[in-house]
C-alpha cells in the first residue's frame, strides 16, 4: 500500500481507537503502528541501500520504482510482533497495545495491496527474508 493509504487508514484507526477507549496513548500507538512503522524503509534506504539523500521524493521514487536491492524491514515482521505482544502482556501499556494493533492493520493491508511481493504472507516473516538473504530479486515479482 502506498504511504497516503497508510496515512488515511492509520488516522482512521487512531480516531476509532480514541473513540472506543478514550485513551490518547492507545490512539497514538495505533497511529504509530499504522503509519510510522514504515520508518524502517528509511533505515533500509540509508543503512542498507547506502542512499544518502533524505529527500522524501527521491526516497519514494527509489522504493516505488522497485530499485531496492535488499529488504530488511525490521519493523515489518511477525517475529517482532510476537515479541511485542509478550512484552505488552507484562507491561499492560496502552500505547504499546495500540502500536501492535496499528502495525497488524498495516501489515494486513500490505499483504492485500502489495502485489509486487512473490509470497505476501511469507514476506512478513523476518526468518523468511533472512533465508533469502534479504535479496529483492528473491522476494519481489518485479
HEC string of 7-73 equals HHHHHHHHHHHHHHHCCHHHHHHHHHHHCHHHHHHHHHHHHHCCCCCCCHHHHHHHHHCCCCCECCC
Helix 94-113, helix 24-34: angle, nearest 10:
30
Which pLDDT value is given to residue 54? Answer: 83
Return d(Cα 78, Cα 121) in angstroms, integer: 10
What the block records as the C-alpha cell of 132 is: 533469502
Return d(Cα 63, Cα 82) in angstroms, integer: 27
Which pLDDT value is given to residue 64? Answer: 81
State the greatest distance between any 2 C-alpha atoms of the chain, in Å, as a whole number: 45
SS3 140: strand
Task: Report residues of the chain scoring pLDDT below 50.
Answer: none
Which pLDDT value is given to residue 87? Answer: 98
Range of the domain at 105: 3-139
Which pLDDT value is given to residue 66? Answer: 82
Which pLDDT value is given to residue 53? Answer: 87
Which pLDDT value is given to residue 78? Answer: 98
What the block records as the C-alpha cell of 65 is: 520504482
Domains held by the chain: number: 1
- Residues 6 or more apart whose CB falls under 8 angstroms from that of 19 comprise none
Taking the CB of residue 58, how many other CB atoms lie within 10 A of it?
Answer: 13
Amino acid at each position: 500500500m502506498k504511504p497516503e493509504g497508510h496515512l488515511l487508514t492509520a488516522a482512521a484507526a487512531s480516531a476509532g481507537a480514541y473513540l472506543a477507549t478514550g485513551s490518547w496513548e492507545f490512539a497514538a500507538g495505533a497511529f504509530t503502528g499504522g503509519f510510522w512503522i514504515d520508518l524502517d524503509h528509511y533505515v533500509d534506504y540509508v543503512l542498507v541501500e547506502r542512499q544518502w539523500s533524505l529527500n522524501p521524493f527521491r526516497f519514494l521514487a527509489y522504493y516505488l520504482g522497485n530499485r531496492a536491492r535488499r529488504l530488511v524491514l525490521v519493523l515489518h515482521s511477525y517475529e517482532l510482533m510476537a515479541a511485542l505482544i509478550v512484552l505488552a502482556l507484562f507491561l499492560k501499556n496502552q500505547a504499546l497495545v495500540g502500536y501492535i494493533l496499528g502495525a497488524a492493520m498495516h501489515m494486513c493491508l500490505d499483504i492485500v495491496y502489495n502485489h509486487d511481493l512473490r509470497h505476501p504472507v511469507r514476506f512478513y516473516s523476518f526468518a523468511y527474508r533472512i533465508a533469502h538473504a534479504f535479496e529483492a530479486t528473491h522476494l519481489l515479482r518485479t
